[in-house]
């Protein structure tokens, strides 16, 4: 089983600023934790991060064929990027949306996700642990198919 883990804009800054909201771990440290769980779950993971919408769309398109699912934190694109939503729909793979923060407890513009309706599920508010919860849910879903 092969899962692509995709992170959107500014998440490359994790662990350097806004630690009160997003925690102290860097993206590389979170990716390490995901890799450890992936091994336990006997699946493979590949990671991608970009600050550019078009690159994220291409990374989603590249999942056609070889991948079984997508774990994605679209960051601020969550709230308005219909092109990312369309790309996720187009690849016809199970997708889990992850947010480090509880987007429903923050500014009103973060309360809406245009991505969630095309996802299997969404996890928000558990910090980096949300990536592990999301991976577990995604793998269980794919295994049960
Ligand atoms: O809670 C999340 O994971 C978000 O997807 C994070 C996005 C935000 O726009 C979403 O509403 C919720 C922002 C990511 C910015 O990450 C930073 C990390 C460190 C320093 C500055 C920004």
Q: Whose CA is nearest to atom 13 of ligand 1?
A: 75
pLDDT at 145: 76
Of 22, 52, 79, 131, which one is the catalytic site residue? 22
Q: What's the token pair of residue 35? A: 């890799």
Query: Has 61 been annotated as catalytic?
Result: no
What angle, rounded to 10 degrees, do the helices at 129-143 and 27-40 form?
Answer: 30
Domains of the chain: 2-143 (3.40.50.9100)
pLDDT at 135: 98
How is the beta sheet containing 95-99 ordered, strand by strand? 44-49, 2-7, 69-73, 95-99, 121-124
| Pocket residues: Cβ below 6 A from ligand 1 | 10-11, 13-14, 17-18, 22, 73, 75-76, 78, 99-101, 103, 110
Q: Max CA-CA distance within the chain? A: 40
Query: Has 82 been annotated as catalytic?
Result: no
Cα of 99 from ligand 1 centre, angstroms: 8
pLDDT at 123: 98
* Ordered mean pLDDT values, 10 residues apiece, the chain (145 residues): 98 95 97 98 98 98 97 98 98 98 98 98 98 98 92
């Amino acid at each position: 089983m092969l899962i692509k883990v995709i992170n959107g804009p500014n998440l490359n800054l994790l662990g350097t600023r806004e630690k009160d909201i997003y925690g102290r771990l860097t993206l590389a440290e979170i990716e390490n934790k995901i890799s450890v769980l992936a091994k336990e779950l006997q699946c493979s993971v590949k990671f991608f991060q970009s600050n550019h919408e078009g690159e994220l769309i291409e990374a989603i398109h590249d999942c056609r064929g070889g991948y079984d699912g997508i774990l994605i934190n679209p960051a601020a694109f969550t709230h308005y990027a219909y092109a990312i939503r369309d790309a996720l729909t187009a690849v016809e793979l199970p997708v889990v949306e992850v947010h480090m923060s509880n987007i429903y407890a923050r500014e009103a513009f973060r309360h809406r996700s245009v991505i969630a309706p095309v996802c299997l599920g969404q996890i928000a508010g558990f910090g980096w642990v949300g990536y592990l919860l999301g991976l577990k849910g995604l793998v269980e879903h794919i295994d049960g198919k």
